[in-house]
Chain A
């Protein structure tokens, strides 16, 4: 290990699955029984007595001055209780974003809870109707008359910036990441390739739309937000600030969540409104977003243009990548500030050892739905760009695509690999572990690359347009700094594990139970995992950026080990054996290697003996209960390769993905079955962005995809055979379990791999410059 790790805590190589009891096994999911039997409790299933329903009145104009809002007719509808415009909540500040570099300059671009004299995208909330039932609320919302004066719209992020407000440009920030001497790299280059690339606007579209319920419990003076997801603790922090309440007076509760993908669970204007209205109107407020609203208002992403070039020496060694990015942020800066543009910039060089890089991002506001993070934010985009450049370079140099990549991969010997950027305050990347070439070899073999090359060539010779493609990527996960957990065993031997994590359907409860069960020595099914409840634990990291398993899992491991130590300490006293002779098996403290019937003590019985006042305690804390923390300063870097085979119908322009392989090194998998689920699900979403899904807008800023007729999510019928190869060749040295995140490895490289395969099918390197590759675009390309 080189001194890149100096100062960082590192851990030895963890045991393999074979050496484990439950960690790393394909354990059945604990959370499924209610979910698969129609007994789930989603936001829509939550109701409070006397609740009112909220309906938003939204802008039908992409950019305009609000001249007047007339609510008189709407108020006459029986059952309407109140209608609010910005005037009614003017003391509320805009929806804040979480801390981000360069945050100050972005603050003027934040979204007001209700539009303040100006609406900036179709769907921008202008008024809120509160009524006895959702039908009445919608009837009344229809009667609210909004008079607006149209203003010129900004649609393309690469067009000349406009004026956000007098004296303020629609270019919110100009971001830069660079290292090495880029000018020199291009000067001495043997070969240079330039591309002009686009990634289309799309987003996570969870089955459950957004939903929020505000409830004020006057008996305790606690304001509750139900229907939360993803980051309950962080949203609570923001809400506490916005509403000026003491933290103890505001709690956030997560129920079942029908998918998150980065967009669900972020803080939106509606979340703030239900809370304010619950207080002010003295009744619980329920808001359930409809699908049309969802496709117009929930965070979108991915829309970027890249004017990029790559330089290489005569041996195909890449000398530098130079990229100018136009990032479309939509109408406002939302919860992530400039995070997506920054992640695009910092991950651009991926798994290659590239001496010089310059990335510049124009972070620009447009009159479209605001954007934030969507699964693999910035990485889906940057992998597409980098891998497009690699394919085009290979073609221009007459080199095999695989060979070019092989020559440039970061080697195992170079690990840990440090990427430092010149710009002040830009965080370095420290790739913690990896054997990229090994994964490449394994992936090529598993995909039958050579054989498929021949098969495709044979089919092409018969007139078909069929080809294969590849995209290599590095992911980032497990961002710190810290997460904690509480764990206790009751007198029945049942274990409660309280975390500040969140479950979006990914199997959080099962993975945490597996980690805890392995460390403590109990059946994982005996463990109840609590998550997403701010009144149960003071801090929580939530579930985002593939960090739950790494960070919360780390905390759970520490906590379970601490609980085990406490159990063994007392067990040793009671069984009169040294701690070192004891083990915990299936929730029972036993003598190691002793035959059945030997000295033993169940954890439930031990919990009984540790009741407050018990003599055994002898001054120590009662209960079989502990709390512990896991801290880390470094993210971890899983990596993967996507392989795709596609067929293009030259007549219709339709691209069909025939086969897909995800090769992914995860360090250590907590539950390979769930990892496969994450990867395959992500892959299908990636296919959506590559071939089907697009939030298109008209020239006047009218959204053109506001139903599932126009926003094309791939279905089972469009999903190809997706094979998954999980490897564990590079466990992370940054956490004791060696794990890395799984959430984004299935989607990261799909755009890149599909583009690569289409090029191959058409025999035209660099042909695909825009995602999604729709039949209409393909026909234009073939013309």
Chain B
């Protein structure tokens, strides 16, 4: 469990980091941020990057601030930054605080980063689910420029994203949530802190006693997290409650294409999809 040899770079500016990345990316050079996924993979020699570009010392990447109607999260902002709901972030702050406690364990949350999780794109990542459910935008930068990638176009399967090898995910932009937005998160795993076997994040508003603008996202069930329009349709216009929530769960189970692993058959995750969606909705209503 000793990593293979690699060259380590520690640039101090974003420009220097991007220039380096452009140089080393073709030789499997990688960004090192919190290192909570990459470093273990290197220890197992499952990843053998020849270069590591450590961005922890890059000025400005730790920015966490509101820009108009979005929350901007820089590349080195740790999970732990969301442990306490910042009142300035409104409902979104409460949602992030609710979700973050499900990410691994405390020491990991003090090192790992939101952008790192999004770049890694594990199907069981809570932040990937959050990004897709809320409709976040990824800001990818290279030495030549920057582009914005909507979450819907960003995730491309298990640990696969729209990012190019020379692109740094410099920032993720999460839309703020209107006051009064209901939100609920439910994750199932065998032990606290483990990767989710299945999870759901939901938001909706209540207008005239009916559900409006429902967002239902599932993670850990398929190769990438995604929203479930069928479940959202089952909710919009209905009164919040057991009947609607279970209908949304059923609608989800009917349309998912679950991943399988040696312990878990597809049928298990299909059932679980219904459970996590309806439980997330119950939590939102509570």
Partners in one complex: yes
Residues of A within 8 A of B191 (CB): 692, 712, 714-715, 717-718
Residues of B within 8 A of A775 (CB): 190, 197, 268
A653 to B275: give the CA distance in the assembly, Å. Answer: 11
Shortest B190–chain A CB gap in Å is: 6
State whether A652 and B44 are in contact (beta carbons under 8 Å apart), knowing that A138-B2, A714-B191 are contacts in the complex: no
State whether A779 and B271 are in contact (beta carbons under 8 Å apart), knowing that A709-B195, A712-B194, A714-B191 are contacts in the complex: yes
Q: Is the CB of B188 within 8 A of A654?
A: yes
State whether A654 and B190 are in contact (beta carbons under 8 Å apart), knowing that A776-B264, A776-B268 are contacts in the complex: yes
A709 to B264: give the CA distance in the assembly, Å. Answer: 14
- Shortest Cβ distance from A139 into B: residue: B4
Q: Is A19 on the interface with B (CB-CB < 8 A)?
A: no
A698 to B192: give the CA distance in the assembly, Å. Answer: 26
State whether A652 and B262 are in contact (beta carbons under 8 Å apart), knowing that A135-B2, A142-B45, A291-B1 are contacts in the complex: no
Q: Is the CB of A717 within 8 A of B192?
A: yes
CB-CB contacts of B269-280 with A at 8 A, as 1s and 0s? 001100100000
Q: Is A696 on the interface with B (CB-CB < 8 A)?
A: yes
Q: Is the CB of B190 within 8 A of A134?
A: no
A231 to B145: give the CA distance in the assembly, Å. Answer: 65
Contact of B263 among A135, A696, A707 (CB under 8 A): A696
CB-CB contacts of B33-67 with A at 8 A, as 1s and 0s? 00000000000110000000000000000000000
- Shortest Cβ distance from B1 into A: residue: A290
Shortest B158–chain A CB gap in Å is: 15
Residues of B within 8 A of A715 (CB): 191-193
State whether A779 and B1 are in contact (beta carbons under 8 Å apart), knowing that A712-B190, A717-B193, A774-B263 are contacts in the complex: no
CB-CB contacts of A173-196 with B at 8 A, as 1s and 0s? 000000000000000000000000
- Shortest Cβ distance from B4 into A: residue: A139
Shortest A138–chain B CB gap in Å is: 5
Shortest B8–chain A CB gap in Å is: 14
Q: Is A292 on the interface with B (CB-CB < 8 A)?
A: yes
Residues of B within 8 A of A291 (CB): 1
Q: Is the CB of B190 within 8 A of A698?
A: no
Residues of A within 8 A of B262 (CB): 696, 698, 704
Q: Is B5 on the interface with A (CB-CB < 8 A)?
A: yes
Residues of A within 8 A of B192 (CB): 715, 717-718
Q: Is A576 on the interface with B (CB-CB < 8 A)?
A: no
Residues of B within 8 A of A774 (CB): 190, 263
How many positions in chain A have a CB within 8 Å of any CB in the partner chain?
27
Give the tally of cross-chain contacts (CB within 8 A): 57
Shortest B203–chain A CB gap in Å is: 22
Q: Is A651 on the interface with B (CB-CB < 8 A)?
A: yes
A696 to B264: give the CA distance in the assembly, Å. Answer: 13
Residues of A within 8 A of B1 (CB): 138, 290-292
Q: How large is the interface on B (under 10, 10 to 19, 20 to 34, 35 or more residues)?
A: 20 to 34
CB-CB contacts of A704-725 with B at 8 A, as 1s and 0s? 1001010010110110000000
Shortest A140–chain B CB gap in Å is: 11
CB neighbors of B among A126-155 (8 A)? 134-135, 138-139, 142
Shortest B178–chain A CB gap in Å is: 31
- Shortest Cβ distance from B40 into A: residue: A707
Residues of A within 8 A of B5 (CB): 135, 139
Shortest A565–chain B CB gap in Å is: 55
A291 to B2: give the CA distance in the assembly, Å. Answer: 11
A779 to B265: give the CA distance in the assembly, Å. Answer: 11
Contact of B44 among A292, A692, A718, A776 (CB under 8 A): A292
CB-CB contacts of B1-29 with A at 8 A, as 1s and 0s? 11111000000000000000000000000
A134 to B4: give the CA distance in the assembly, Å. Answer: 11
CB neighbors of B among A552-586 (8 A)? none
A709 to B37: give the CA distance in the assembly, Å. Answer: 12
- Shortest Cβ distance from A775 into B: residue: B190
Residues of B within 8 A of A134 (CB): 2
Shortest A354–chain B CB gap in Å is: 37
Residues of B within 8 A of A714 (CB): 191
Residues of A within 8 A of B2 (CB): 134-135, 138
Residues of B within 8 A of A653 (CB): 268
Contact of A779 among B44, B190, B193, B268 (CB under 8 A): B268
A712 to B197: give the CA distance in the assembly, Å. Answer: 14
Residue of B2, B44, B268, B275 ringed by the most chain A CB atoms within 10 A: B2
CB neighbors of A among B166-205 (8 A)? 188, 190-195, 197
A78 to B53: give the CA distance in the assembly, Å. Answer: 27
A712 to B195: give the CA distance in the assembly, Å. Answer: 12
CB-CB contacts of A644-672 with B at 8 A, as 1s and 0s? 00000001111000000000000000000
CB neighbors of A among B240-267 (8 A)? 262-265
Residues of B within 8 A of A779 (CB): 268, 271
Residues of A within 8 A of B275 (CB): 651-652
Shortest A700–chain B CB gap in Å is: 12
Residues of B within 8 A of A139 (CB): 4-5
CB neighbors of B among A284-327 (8 A)? 290-292
Q: Is the CB of A652 within 8 A of B188?
A: yes
A715 to B104: give the CA distance in the assembly, Å. Answer: 13
Q: Is the CB of A652 within 8 A of B272?
A: yes
Shortest A754–chain B CB gap in Å is: 15
Shortest B266–chain A CB gap in Å is: 11
A351 to B253: give the CA distance in the assembly, Å. Answer: 49
Shortest B242–chain A CB gap in Å is: 13
A142 to B188: give the CA distance in the assembly, Å. Answer: 38
Residues of A within 8 A of B265 (CB): 776
Shortest B198–chain A CB gap in Å is: 9
Residues of B within 8 A of A776 (CB): 263-265, 268
Residues of B within 8 A of A292 (CB): 1, 44
A291 to B1: give the CA distance in the assembly, Å. Answer: 8
A709 to B41: give the CA distance in the assembly, Å. Answer: 12
Residues of B within 8 A of A696 (CB): 262-263
Residues of B within 8 A of A654 (CB): 188, 190
Residues of B within 8 A of A652 (CB): 188, 272, 275
Residue of B5, B192, B263 ringed by the most chain A CB atoms within 10 A: B263
CB neighbors of B among A723-778 (8 A)? 774-776
Residues of B within 8 A of A709 (CB): 194-195
A267 to B10: give the CA distance in the assembly, Å. Answer: 45
CB neighbors of B among A184-223 (8 A)? none
Residues of B within 8 A of A718 (CB): 191-192
A135 to B195: give the CA distance in the assembly, Å. Answer: 30
Residues of A within 8 A of B4 (CB): 139, 142
- Shortest Cβ distance from A55 into B: residue: B2
A137 to B190: give the CA distance in the assembly, Å. Answer: 36
Residues of A within 8 A of B195 (CB): 709
Shortest A708–chain B CB gap in Å is: 10
State whether A692 and B190 are in contact (beta carbons under 8 Å apart), knowing that A290-B1, A292-B44, A776-B264 are contacts in the complex: yes
A698 to B45: give the CA distance in the assembly, Å. Answer: 22
CB neighbors of A among B192-228 (8 A)? 192-195, 197
CB neighbors of B among A96-140 (8 A)? 134-135, 138-139
Residue of B1, B188, B193, B268 ringed by the most chain A CB atoms within 10 A: B1
Shortest B241–chain A CB gap in Å is: 17
Shortest B277–chain A CB gap in Å is: 11
- Shortest Cβ distance from A653 into B: residue: B268
- Shortest Cβ distance from A777 into B: residue: B263
A127 to B195: give the CA distance in the assembly, Å. Answer: 35
Q: Could you jot down 25 A-B contacts, CB within 8 Å?
A: A134-B2, A135-B5, A138-B1, A138-B2, A139-B4, A139-B5, A290-B1, A651-B271, A653-B268, A654-B190, A696-B262, A696-B263, A698-B262, A707-B44, A712-B190, A712-B194, A715-B192, A717-B192, A718-B191, A718-B192, A774-B190, A774-B263, A775-B190, A775-B268, A776-B268
- Nearest first, the 7 closest Cβ-Cβ pairs linking A and B are A717-B192, A290-B1, A651-B275, A135-B2, A138-B2, A704-B262, A652-B188
Other 12 A-B pairs with CB < 8 A, given A135-B2, A138-B2, A776-B264:
A139-B5, A142-B45, A290-B1, A292-B1, A692-B191, A696-B262, A704-B262, A712-B190, A717-B192, A718-B192, A775-B190, A775-B268
